Amino acid sequence: MKLILGHLINFGSMFGLAFTFCAAVLSSIPLLGAFIWWDVSIITNVGWETVSYFARISIACATIMGLWFTFSKEGQLAAKEFVEGK
């Protein structure tokens, strides 16, 4: 049971890091466009459909990264260290 908790903690930590990174990158795309064209109307024209699409991409990427870390060698070792209390 403690090993499962270790895997869940690994998944959650990588999910949080990856989601934050993806959200920061995707939210900077309209800002980059506004800087290049020097027009703030690009930012104000971003609709909820675009925000929802970016959120779905961020969640999907973060889930893949979390699963990848959980089943990687580093994630397995981290879960075993959690069980052993190191």
Domain ranges of the chain: 2-84
Residues recorded for the chain: 86
CA gap 55, 69 in Å, rounded: 21
Per-residue pLDDT at 42: 65
51 versus 64: the higher-pLDDT residue is 64
Average pLDDT over residues 50-73: 92
* 13-35 confidence digits (pLDDT tens): 999 999 999 999 888 887 777 77
Mean pLDDT of all residues belonging to the chain: 87
Per-residue pLDDT at 74: 93
Alpha helices, H only, 1-86: 2-37, 41-44, 48-70, 73-84
* 67-81 confidence digits (pLDDT tens): 999 999 999 999 999
